[in-house]
Structure 1
Amino acid sequence: MAILSPPAQLPDEAQPAEPQQQPVKRQITLWLWPVLITLAATMYKINEPVMGNDELATWEVARRSTGQIMATLHNVDAVHGTYYLFMHGWMTVFGDSPTAMRTPSALAMAAAASLVALTGRRLFGARAGLCAGLLFAIVPAVSRFGQESRGYALVVLAATLATLLLLRALDAHRSAWRWGAYAACLACIGLLHLVALTIVAAHAVLVLARARYTEPRVLWSFVLAAFVGTACVTPVIALGLSHDDRQLFWVPEPTLWSLLEIGPQIFASGLCAGAVFVLAVLARSERREGLLLCAALAVLPFLEIWIASQGEVSYFRYQYALFTLPAWAMLAGAGLASVTRSGGAAIAALFLLALFALPDHEQMREQYEHDVPHRVDYESAAGTIAKYHLPGDAVVFGRGYAWMLGGGVRYYLPDDKKLRETLVVPGAVRDDLYSMDCPDPAQCLGSEKRVWVVVEGRTPAPLASIAAAQAKVLRAEFKPAGSVQHTGVTVELHVRKPR
């Protein structure tokens, strides 16, 4: 992957004053290089990984009508409703190819990189800000989730913007507009992903410190803004809590060891995680508030999510804590600026880290990286069906993993090769993500002459992987006419027996 080389010298506030136009150039340099490098990383091979579980869920819901989406959110996935509605509009304009569906995340990560640099400058100075923006840009998880058609990149952007808006509100704490902008940003965070509202506790640490030592009145402004922002998403909170046990039943309750394991996962690279942690520990600054804020933003959300997961439902997934990456990058940027004597040394260190992280970036772009651990070749399975397709063909998907397996095949199947999902009531009909088995398989089968059976894994007996009642009907009425195995999936055609 090509690495764009930033300018030879990082801007430093300690440098002598230069011509009048130089501050503008410095400001552009500060955010432009992080944006360009992040865009280069996220757009590199963006279309190559097979669509993953979450991405297929996005496609399944976002392609429905607005009314159908709203009806679905009453039954499942309310916490992602805002993103689904956004993607519905995006896909209407730009289509549903992997590149089209993943581009909003790439743009969001690039915008977040600029905000990391700008916020880092406010907290620690220009050189530390640019180091932070560049560090953020080269973290493999940034490009990984900048290539995923899910709302996590937008959450990272919104959370970083909220921190910057809070700092601006504290600069002019009597400005209702600035506090209003902060409250609106918190509402956006909640609409995109409720777990990310744990950022409010980290913000409160800074506000309490400011209220104690300088301006006591800022505390009440913050409390009001935070209350208004979170109150705006009360319906989503209520719906999301009602869906938790259904959507997150499979997430294990975290242990104390989980707090250590999640670090490398957040960065998608043990090397990057270690380098950032070391640099963060080395961070030094006369601006103590900046260190306090970034430390709270980097650590508190993990602890909050861990504590909230010690119950019936666990929320402890590394994807849910990606919004802490900007804080780690800002701390590490301050650390790098502290331990390097010049911009050239900082550039060299960043370049070496980017070089060593290249294998992790490449791994993020492997064919099945978005579909771990299943690794199913949906595209080849759909290609087999398309090759031998006849109008009126039906399909049955294997149980267990069937809802995702069906979504993957439907996604890659050409528009003119549609199949009727027999033996089930499709999720779209039920205003749900998941299909429901037909109570009377013989009646639901109807008069189809050909039925495709698609199951996970390479198996010589695909009917053994579908519901027993469905398999019984197919064995009685149909006979196999051919089977093809692909990576992680078997496709078998069944034709009706002559009477």
Structure 2
Amino acid sequence: MAVVAGTAALSGSGSASLNGDELATVSAASRSFAGLWTLAQSIDGHFLPYYLFMQLWAKAGTAELWLRLPSALAIGVAAWFLCDLGRRVHGLTAGIAASLIFAVLPSVSYYGAFARPYALAAAASVFALWVLLRASGSPRSARAWVLYALTVALVCCTHLFAVLTLPAHLFLLRRATAARLLPALAVGFLPAVVLGLLGYGERHAISWIPQRGPDVLLKLPKMVAGANEVGLLLFAAALAGILALALTGHRGRGDTRRLLGTGIAAAPAAPGLPADEGVAAVQGAVAGQGVTARQAAGAFGAWLLLPPVLLLAISHLVTPVYVDRYLFVTAPALALLAGIAVAAVPRVGAVAAAVLIAGSLVLALPQHQDVRDHNGRFEDFPGAIRQIKAEPGDALIFGQSSVRAGFDYYAAGTLWQDVLRLGQEPEPGGFGFPESRDVAVALQGRERVWMIWRGAKTSNLPRVRAVKEAGFRQVSSWHSAELPGLTVALFTNRRTG
């Protein structure tokens, strides 16, 4: 299952070029440790653990596939632990179905081939819950709870808002584990406190995020799955999975409601025991989580539903932070619950799982094709470079300084006449480059100017206005189709043209 999911994720790279966010990873990973610390004090401080990891990873190269490989590997890890979670809670069919549903999500193909930490955060979230279930079965094992604290810290370090999955762990709290679970959770949460304070001091860097209303939650199925139809289908299945798991807990009496391995509804009675007690006996021989079906239903449901609500609450109480990609950590929960739902279908669980997986893949084929398209990350830098038919004396100007990083990556060595550029290295406290502010002086004596900016053709950026005020008019333009996308425009001198 891990290989299938990892391969599906890596294939999501397709011909899609790196986008601006991924180029920020390249920029951060290419700096010295001191330079990275300087950057973290100004912007992206909450990404510091990921940037430190990528700094080591990039020593072996910065090719597209290599930069995206950690995310693909993380998807494989997530699928493996997701399969085992499903197996422990509701049997092997649920585990296999969950991992395969996860693998066919378009969002997995996107973030699994994306040089940012979102796939790593999803994998860490799955791993943390898996470790917690194991620790719950051995409440007196200090080693198990130390490992749990470390996995919680890992969740915090992969991405700050991955911590929104942690409240779901409280649904597994029991009297026997409270004295270990709560301290371990608190200790593991410490990195989030540090990174949160650092991020709060840099909230100006995300001032571009608009305030969202409660209606944004209606888009959650599409965002998590990466496709609207598939998202709605799997979300309905996931809700059914919560219900099926919760109702499973009412089938036994007393301790027979403990989730100890295979699916309660599917386990046969042990010889010489009443049916319900036989269920518990068979399950007790498989594993020993010591949590109830109702608790598991609450934990998995909270893993799926709480993060978007909490992120929206933070947006209104602190600062706008609701961005779809911050919630990819809920995708494993969607797949797990949907897998449990189909596995719970009496007598034909495997068939139901196969139908759901195949149907999800067919419905999502257009989105899978989009993800693997050359513009699959919505910023087609190679396509933009091909549009520039520079002649001797032509000037090159960027609407946003950071867009230059894409040209440095894909057109290194090209003798562009980048007339505003003042240095080769990016600014210490950001991803832009030192530039001259006097556009008119830089364009003196020029007949043609090629402008590149992030956004639509009609964008009225200050740099575009400055070129027009310097006596140039736009004569042609090209846009990479999807918003925000990249625009390449040619301007000519009105006085000589």
Fold agreement, TM-score > 0.5: yes
CA separation of 1:333/1:383 partners in 2, compared to 1, >3 Å: closer, same or farther? same
Structure 2 Cα separation of the partners of residues 448 and 121 of structure 1: 71
User: Of 391, 399, 403, which residue of structure 2 is paired with 1:405?
Assistant: 403
Match of 2:365 among 358, 363, 374: 358
Match of 2:488 in 1: 490
Show the counterpart of 2:202: 243
Question: Does residue 232 of structure 1 match 2:185?
Answer: no
Aligned to 1:64: 31
Matched, 1:40 2:7: yes
Contact 1:394 1:448 in 2 (8 A): no
Corresponding residue number in structure 1 for 2:298: 292
For 2:488, what is the secondary structure of its paired residue?
strand
Partners of 1:117 and 1:129 within 8 A in 2? yes
For the residues of structure 1 that align with 2:25 and 2:89, how far apart are their CA atoms?
37
Question: 1:409, CA displacement in angstroms?
Answer: 1.9
- Contact 1:484–1:490, Cα closer than 8 Å, also in 2: yes
Contact 1:159–1:323 (8 Å) recurs in 2: yes
Identity %: 26
The 8 Å contact of residues 455 and 466 in structure 1, kept in 2 or not, is answered as no
Is residue 149 of structure 1 aligned with residue 149 of structure 2?
Answer: no
Alignment correspondent of 1:336: 342
| Cα pair 2:13 2:110 within 8 Å, conserved | no
CA distance in structure 1 between the partners assigned to 2:462 and 2:438 by the alignment: 19
Note if contact 2:170-2:299 (Cα within 8 Å) is conserved in structure 1: no
Q: Check 1:36–1:457 CA distance in 2 against 1; reply closer, same or farther (3 A cut).
A: closer
The answer to whether the 8 A contact 1:455-1:491 is kept is yes
Q: Given that residues 395 and 419 in structure 1 are in contact (C-alpha distance below 8 angstroms), is that contact kept between their aligned partners in structure 2? A: yes
Checking the alignment, whether the CA contact within 8 Å between 1:46 and 1:147 is kept in structure 2 is yes
Of 374, 377, 387, 1:367 maps to 374
Structure 2: 5+ residue stretches without partners: 250-292, 481-485
1:310-338 deviation line (CA, Å, top 9, x unaligned): 13512212211111111222211111011
Alignment of 1:195-274 (within 5 A): 195-207=161-173, 210-211=174-175, 215=176, 218-244=177-203, 246-274=204-232
Provide the residue aligned with 1:132 in structure 2: 98
Deviation at 1:460, TM superposition (A): 11
TM-score (norm 1): 0.78
Shift of 1:403: 3.4
Report the secondary structure of 1:429's partner residue: coil
Partner Cα distance (2:297, 2:460) in 1? 60
- Cα separation, 2, equivalents of 1:327 and 1:89: 31
Quote the offset at 1:423 in angstroms: 5.3
1:439 offset after TM fit, Å?
A: 5.3
Q: How does 1:107-122 map to 2 (within 5 A)?
A: 107-122=73-88
Aligned residue type for 1:351: A
In structure 2, distance between residues paired with 1:460 and 1:314? 27
CA contact (8 A) 2:426 2:434 kept: no
Question: In the alignment, which residue of structure 2 is the partner of 1:82?
Answer: 49
CA contact (8 A) 1:114 1:133 kept: yes
Amino acid at match of 1:379: P
Q: Is the 8 A contact 2:3 2:76 kept in 1?
A: yes
What is the distance in 1 between the residues matched to 2:165 and 2:93?
26
Whether the 8 Å contact between 2:171 and 2:295 is mirrored in structure 1 is no
User: CA deviation digits over 1:341-377, x for unaligned, max 9?
Assistant: 2334432442233223222211222332312xxxx54
Mapping 1:410-421, distance limit 5 Å: 410-415=408-413, 417=415
Q: Which amino acid aligns with 2:45?
A: A
Report the residue type matching 1:281 in the other structure.
Answer: L
> What is the CA deviation profile of residues 429-474 of structure 1, one whole-angstrom value per residue up to 9, with x for unaligned ones?
333123465456688x5999999642338999999962666776x7
Aligned residues: 441
Counterpart check, 1:431 vs 2:461: no
Preserved contact between residue 483 and residue 493 of structure 1 (Cα < 8 Å): yes
Q: Who is 1:378 aligned against?
A: 381
Q: Which runs of 5+ in 1 are unaligned?
A: 1-33
Whether the 8 Å contact between 1:269 and 1:360 is mirrored in structure 2 is yes
Please give the TM-score of this superposition, normalised by the length of structure 2: 0.78
Q: Which residue of 1 aligns with 2:463?
A: 466
CA separation of 1:198/1:417 partners in 2, compared to 1, >3 Å: closer, same or farther? same
Cα distance change on mapping 1:304 and 1:58 into 2, 3 Å? same
SS in structure 2 of the partner of residue 48 of structure 1: coil
Q: Kindly state the Cα deviation for residue 489 of structure 1 after the two structures are TM-superposed.
A: 2.8
CA distance in 1, matches of 2:373, 2:43: 30
Give CA-to-partner distance per residue, 1:45-94, whole Å, 9 cap, x none: 5141232231122122222223211211110001112222222222220x
